[in-house]
Each structure stands twice: as structure tokens, then as C-alpha cells.
């Protein structure tokens, strides 16, 4: 059978849409602003399916697994892996700020900044603690988790349902089969929605460039460049080494996930690819039970891109406002960043909220200095989102390998390699 024309490949269409969006947003700002509904509409269509897909995939996987001790073991291993990688990402962000000095020479007087611009982010700080995050994982009603798109709540419900079904015996098998059919319906809907990705990416990118203007990058270009360079280094060196130890190629994995990466780049959010990532990771040879548990958990506990940003942003703001932090204070930054890194899932401007949470314990650095980041944050969000998705994909495969359940033969067939 003849291969379809290259221009019909989704990743080619998304890439072209991103380029066209940049062009329209830069040269025709009014038109770019008017295209905002295209991006928001696409994201909304995908988000409406995220909760049901995570729930169905995880319930079916847990119910078919049977061994509840295994579920607990996988959960503990996952949390250990996430915590180690989070600390590494936070340390790398600090190191990048210390070596690159992106804020040096700006000499910003915090009193001249607009405190109202960041008030909305600071207002969420009280909700980002670890205890609050754990309590927030318990939904008020069964449907509440799906209404508010809280991944932890959906995972908790799925675990409880999976455990209950696994104890039902033969009757449970019928429920599992029905869930499998429902899952196929959901993925069929998603396949139709994903065909609109070029339209969504075009609208989102056109609006972003028109709203925030590429010229806004000039004053803070060093910060943006430092974040991108640091994130690429983290992915290539840290995640690349982990992939090598686990016996697979990171570049080949990224090629396999190129469509999802481009959708994230175009929409500036990693959530829109969750359903498709679950499907593709399972198609790569990872068991459904581990995919459904590990990947969604990563959005709360393993935001590598956001973690790099937290410590980099805090030290940048200190440098920009001429605040010298001692070694002891920098250690405190790291400790409080570790706490903040576990919170903020599902909070609008989550990375901003985490930075604000750290700043609240350092009165030396004025919280209103966050206003410095607002103009360029949209251009850094793509970097954070891409790093988060790659980190969670690698984590899912590594945990599957750790459990001895990754089908490496299937993986080699799909992406090649040794």
C-alpha cells in the first residue's frame, strides 16, 4: 500500500500551523487576538475527555491486575522516582541561575512594579501545601473529580473502583469488559478531536504572539534562553542517561511522540495530550495498569520543567532586584521549593503560584517582583510543558521496566533500537 502524502501527516500540519500562527500573530495582531477561541476550543474539547480516559484506563488496569500489593509497590516506586527527579530538577535550576546570572544588571526597583498584576497568583499560595494537596485529593462527591479536572481525585476514585471490581470475581470480569468498550469509545472520540490539532495550534500560537509580542522577549531574553538551555540539558543529559540505563533510546522515543510534542508546543499546555500519551505509551509496550497510574500522577509529583523554573525564577528575581542570598538562604530556597513543587496541580498559573509560595518565606525578595516574569511567562510555558511531558513519558517506561513488565520486544518494533 502506498504511503500517504507527507503533508497529510498530523505533525507536519501542526508544525505548519505553529509557523503560520507566529506569522499572523506578529504581523497582524488584531487577527491574532481574534483567533483565541480556536485554541481555547480545541483545549476544551480535549480536556473534557481527560478525566474519563484516565478513570477508564486505570480502573481496567487495576481490576485486571488483581494483586493489590503490586499496586502499592508500583505507587511507592513511582513516588520515590518522582521525588529524586524533582530534587535533581530543582538543583539544576539553581545551578543554571548561579552560573548564567540571568538577572544580573537589571537593577529593578520593586517599588515601581505593579503588585496588582500578581495578586491573583499570590492568593493561591495558601492552597499549595503538601497537606492541603493530600486533602484535596479526596473529592466531595464522585462526580466532583471529573467536574474540576483534578487528576489526583480521578486517580483515587479509579484505584478504589479497581480494587472493588477485582474482588467481585466473575461479576467483576463483566464490568471490566464493559469499561474496555467504554474506553474504546472515548479513544475514538479523541482520535476525531485530535484531527483538529492544527487548527487549535494555529489559533493558540497566533493569539500568544499577538497578545504578548515577540518584542517583550528582548529585556528578559537571557532568562528565557537560560530556561530553554537548562531544560534541553536536563532532558538530554539526565533523562537521556536514565533512558540509556533502562535500555532504550530517548531520541527514538521523542520521534515516536513528535505529534504530541508539537501539540504541546502549539497550545502551551501539557494536559491536552494526556489521553493520546496514555494510548501511545500502552502501544509502546507499557502495561495499562502502570501507564494509567504513573503518567497522571506525574502531573502533580513530577513536573520537571516547572521544578527547573521554580528555583531559576526565584534566584533570577533575587538577582534582578539586587538581593544577595547567602548559601544558607539558598538551601532554604531549595527546601521550600521541594515543598511547593508537590502542590499547585490544577491551579491556574501553577508554576507562578509555586514561585510565589517560595517568595512568601523570603521577605528579602519582594513578591511584586513576580510582575517581571508576566510578560515572558507565556513564552516559557511551552518549555515547561514539553519538559514535563517528556519526563512523565520516561518515568512511565522506567517504572514499567523496574517492574519487569515493559514489553521491550514490542518497543523495539515500534521505535527501533537495540
Burial of residue 330 (number of CB atoms within 10 Å: 0-12, 13-18, 19+): middle
Distance CA 252, CA 165 (A): 37
pLDDT of residue 125: 52
pLDDT of residue 349: 55
At 35, is the secondary structure helix, strand, or coil?
coil
Q: Which three cell numbers stand for residue 374?
A: 508576566
In degrees and rounded to multiples of 5, residue 140 shows phi and psi of: -70, -35
Cα dist. 142→88, 155, 156 in Å?
A: 36, 12, 10
Question: What is 100-167 written as a DSSP string?
Answer: H-TTTT----GGGS-GGGGHHHHTTGGG-SHHHHHHHTS-SSTTHHHHTT-HHHHHHHHHHHHHHHHT
Cα dist. 279→191, 276, 286 in Å?
A: 11, 5, 10
Which domains does the chain carry? Answer: 6-415 (1.10.3860.10)
With beta carbons less than 8 A apart as the criterion, state whether 264 and 382 touch.
Answer: yes
Residue-wise pLDDT tens digits, 170-205: 788 888 888 888 888 988 888 888 888 889 889 988
pLDDT of residue 227: 94
First-to-last CA distance in the chain? 28
pTM of this structure: 0.82
pLDDT of residue 308: 94
pLDDT of residue 346: 44
pLDDT of residue 114: 55
**Mean pLDDT in residue range 366-381:** 78
Cα dist. 316→26, 208, 296 in Å?
A: 28, 24, 30
pLDDT at 219 over 70: no
Distance CA 169, CA 80 (A): 33
User: pLDDT grade, residue 284 (50/70/90)?
Assistant: very high
pLDDT of residue 348: 45
Count of alpha carbons within 13 Å of 182, Cβ hemisphere only? 16
Distance CA 186, CA 50 (A): 9
| 72-90 b/e (C-beta count within 10 Å ≥ 16 → b) | eebbebbeebbeebbebbb
Q: Which three cell numbers stand for residue 63?
A: 481490576
Distance CA 360, CA 214 (A): 31
Count of alpha carbons within 13 Å of 300, Cβ hemisphere only? 24
pLDDT of residue 112: 61
Distance CA 292, CA 78 (A): 12
Residue 226's nearest CA partner among 358, 385, 383, 389 is 383
User: pLDDT grade, residue 23 (50/70/90)?
Assistant: very high
Residue ranges in 302-370 assigned as alpha helix (H): 304-320, 327-341, 350-359
For the chain, state the CA radius of gyration.
Answer: 22
**Mean pLDDT in residue range 137-151:** 77
> Which residue matches cell numbers 492552597?
127
**Mean pLDDT in residue range 342-354:** 60
pLDDT of residue 160: 86
pLDDT of residue 347: 47
pLDDT at 400 over 90: yes
pLDDT at 17 over 50: yes
* Percent of the chain predicted with pLDDT > 70: 86
Amino acid at each position: 500500500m502506498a504511503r500517504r502524502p507527507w503533508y497529510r501527516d498530523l505533525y507536519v500540519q501542526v508544525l505548519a500551523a505553529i509557523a503560520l500562527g507566529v506569522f499572523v500573530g506578529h504581523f497582524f495582531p488584531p487577527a491574532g487576538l481574534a483567533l483565541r477561541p480556536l485554541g481555547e476550543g480545541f483545549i476544551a474539547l480535549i480536556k473534557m475527555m481527560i478525566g474519563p480516559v484516565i478513570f477508564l484506563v486505570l480502573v481496567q488496569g487495576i481490576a485486571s491486575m488483581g494483586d493489590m500489593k503490586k499496586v502499592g509497590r508500583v505507587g511507592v516506586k513511582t513516588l520515590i522516582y518522582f521525588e529524586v527527579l524533582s530534587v535533581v530538577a530543582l538543583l539544576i535550576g539553581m545551578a543554571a541561575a548561579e552560573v548564567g546570572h540571568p538577572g544580573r544588571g537589571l537593577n529593578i526597583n520593586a517599588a515601581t512594579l505593579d503588585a496588582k498584576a500578581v495578586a491573583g497568583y499570590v492568593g493561591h499560595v495558601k492552597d499549595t501545601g503538601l497537606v492541603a494537596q493530600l486533602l484535596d485529593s479526596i473529592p466531595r462527591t464522585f462526580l466532583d473529580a471529573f467536574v474540576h479536572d483534578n487528576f489526583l481525585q480521578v486517580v483515587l476514585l479509579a484505584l478504589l473502583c479497581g480494587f472493588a471490581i477485582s474482588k467481585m470475581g466473575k461479576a467483576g470480569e463483566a464490568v471490566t469488559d464493559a469499561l474496555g468498550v467504554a474506553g474504546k469509545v472515548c479513544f475514538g472520540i479523541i482520535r476525531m478531536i485530535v484531527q483538529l490539532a492544527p487548527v487549535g495550534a494555529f489559533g493558540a500560537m497566533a493569539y500568544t504572539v499577538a497578545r504578548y509580542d515577540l518584542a517583550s522577549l528582548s529585556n528578559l531574553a537571557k532568562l528565557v534562553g537560560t530556561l530553554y538551555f537548562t531544560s534541553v540539558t536536563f532532558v538530554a543529559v539526565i533523562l537521556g542517561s536514565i533512558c540509556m540505563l533502562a535500555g532504550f533510546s530517548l531520541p527514538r522515543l521523542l520521534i515516536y511522540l513528535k505529534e504530541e510534542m508539537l501539540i504541546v508546543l502549539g497550545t502551551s499546555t501539557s494536559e491536552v495530550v494526556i489521553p493520546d500519551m496514555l494510548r501511545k505509551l500502552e502501544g509502546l509496550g507499557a502495561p495499562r495498569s502502570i501507564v494509567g497510574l504513573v503518567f497522571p500522577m506525574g502531573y502533580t509529583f513530577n513536573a520537571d520543567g516547572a521544578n527547573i523554573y521554580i528555583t531559576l525564577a526565584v534566584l533570577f528575581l533575587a538577582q534582578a532586584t539586587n538581593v544577595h542570598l547567602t548559601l544558607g538562604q539558598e538551601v532554604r530556597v531549595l527546601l521550600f521549593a521541594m515543598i511547593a513543587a508537590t502542590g499547585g496541580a490544577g491551579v491556574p498559573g501553577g508554576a507562578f503560584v509555586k514561585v510565589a509560595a517560595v517568595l512568601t518565606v523570603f521577605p528579602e525578595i519582594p513578591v511584586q517582583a513576580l510582575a517581571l516574569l508576566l510578560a515572558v511567562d507565556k513564552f516559557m510555558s511551552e518549555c515547561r510543558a514539553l519538559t514535563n511531558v517528556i519526563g512523565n513519558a520516561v518515568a512511565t517506561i522506567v517504572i514499567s521496566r523496574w517492574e519487569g513488565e515493559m514489553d521491550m520486544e514490542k518497543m523495539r518494533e515500534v521505535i527501533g533500537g537495540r
